[in-house]
Amino acid sequence: MKLQTALTIAGTDPSGGAGIMADLKSFQSRGVYGMAAITSVVAQNTMGVQLVEHVSIAMLEAQLYAVYSDIMPHAVKTGMIGVPEMMDVIYPYLKKGVPYVMDPVMIATSGDRLISEKAVEVLTTKLIPLATVITPNRSEAEVLSGMSIETEEDIKKSAQIILKELGSQSVIIKGGHIGADATDYLFTKNGELYQWSSPKFNTIHTHGTGCTFSAVITAELAKGKSLVDAVGIGKQYISMAIEMNPGLGEGRGPVNHMAYTD
């Protein structure tokens, strides 16, 4: 039985709710063989980030070579990429022609800033133009578009800035802070707009939702699904994962990566 493969390039989470740990759980739950290259070792849990140590550039490059020289991924996801030099190493691997999902991790759910200003600049100019889709949260979309997002109209404006000025093929912006439902919007470069809504859940257990959502999309793209279908599955998956969260931790707990089955 030959499995489709997906690679995540991101930081760690020893508490298992976010980063590479969440990505691998998501890949596995969607029937895809998961691989990982670690950019940063992050001491974090449901209460926040305590310490970040980046791996050496040589180590990151060696991990990527180890994967690509042996098992070619069918889709790639990037998460936390802490310094510009890492982006320079990752860049040629993202040009291999497989779907690329960027979760532009800049700010943790806890509010902790995770990457430098220079890294944000290189991310926007070098990596975003290669992305099949980027999946910023509200704070990250505000950084990328240079505007505040308070309304649905703001979401549409910020998406157009990201698509036209930064150059990704598509962008998903989550509008859970607007209205009675949690609505996610997918905008494509050719002017298409799709949206999915789900109920809002009265819970603080949302640690790793961004990582998980984008990882599920990556897994579905690896299996050959269209972007619209992949995002639709990702939306159903993350909604159920939040609703059926395991209630772990003293702070913003993780979601349930075993909740959704189809």
Active-site residue (options: 8, 46, 109, 209): 209
Active-site residue (options: 16, 210, 249, 253): 210
Active-site residue (options: 46, 82, 135, 211): 211
Dihedral class, residue 48 (left if φ above 0, else alpha if ψ from -120 to 50, else beta) = left
Take residue 169 and report the two structure tokens written for it: 């093929």
Take residue 78 and report the two structure tokens written for it: 């990037």
| Catalytic (active site) residue 208 | yes
Take residue 227 and report the two structure tokens written for it: 């972007």
Active-site residue (options: 208, 232, 249, 253): 208
Angle at 78 between CA 81 and CA 234, to 5 degrees: 140
The amino acid at residue 50 is Q
CA dihedral 77, 41, 57, 64 (to 10 degrees): -40
| Catalytic (active site) residue 210 | yes
Q: Which of 112, 45, 47 is nearest to 82 (CA)?
A: 112
Active-site residue (options: 206, 223, 235, 249): 206
CB half-sphere exposure, 4, CA atoms < 13 A? 19
Q: Which helix (H) or strand (E) holds 53?
A: strand 48-54
Distance separating alpha carbons of residues 203 and 9, to the nearest angstrom: 29
The residues annotated with a catalytic role in the active site are: 174, 206, 208-211
